[in-house]
A = this chain, B = another copy of it.
Amino acid sequence: MANTSHNQQSASKASTTQHRRRGKELEADILASTLNLIEQTKYEEITMDMIAKRAHTNKSVLYRRWDSKADIVLAALRTQTTDLAMKMRQTPNTGSLEGDLRTLFDWICTLLTSMHYANIIGLMRERLGGISMRDYFDKFARKNFLSQMVRTFFEHASERGEVDLTHFDEVLYDLPALVLMDAFYATDDTTIDRPRLDHILSDILMPVYRPFLKAEDREAR
């Protein structure tokens, strides 16, 4: 959305008409440039000056909007996942917790095998590894697309009376993201494919979630 509306007519200094960008327009351009960079360069090799230069603006402007390099990169990334969430239509609602989770994992699988996102694991491992644990946990864990979606599934399940969340722990919403993160980072051969994802869902996540299902819903499997 709001794509490349205005081009930088004259790339160099000889620009006759300046059209100084402001507000959302400038912000969108900066995030697009950041995303563009992170698709080619790993996190620690990106400099704020590179981002500024590519967006034809300047470091001060960046720091006026975001507090740090991690902030701007994560913000850029979030535009992408939000975009992705759009493509994937809205939150699944199959009528059962396990069904919703399977749909989500199908999406992830599609995402991982699709042309455009084929290198997303490499991206996570190589390009985003420089992000700090604090930035990850403060700005990404539990705020990320995946964890939010899992939380929603449980809210829906709770409304349906499918689960009893009396002894539920917040950690559990984040578990899929954590386990996938660990698998992405720590797997030497980077083949996170459908069987592996199926296994993670069936043999790791579902055994944790199943005890929270009310008795009558537990017969599955």
Contact = CB atoms under 8 A, between A and B. Distances in A.
Interface stretch (A15-23, A29-37, A52-60, A163-171): A163-171
Interface size class of A (residues with CB under 8 A): 35 or more
- Shortest 4 CB-CB contacts between residues of A and residues of B: A129-B134, A137-B185, A207-B207, A178-B178
Contact of A210 (B167, B182, B185, B207): B207
Interface in A125-181: 125, 128-138, 141-142, 167, 169-172, 174-175, 178-179
17 contacts: A128-B133, A129-B132, A129-B134, A129-B135, A129-B137, A133-B136, A133-B185, A141-B185, A169-B203, A169-B204, A170-B186, A171-B200, A174-B186, A175-B179, A203-B208, A207-B208, A208-B208
A169 B208 CA distance: 15
A183 interface: yes
Interface in A184-201: 185-187, 199-200
A211 interface: yes
A131 B137 CA distance: 12
B142 A171 contact: no
Given A133-B133, A133-B136, A171-B179, 15 more contacts: A129-B132, A129-B134, A129-B137, A129-B138, A130-B132, A130-B134, A131-B133, A167-B199, A169-B200, A169-B204, A171-B183, A171-B200, A175-B204, A178-B179, A207-B208
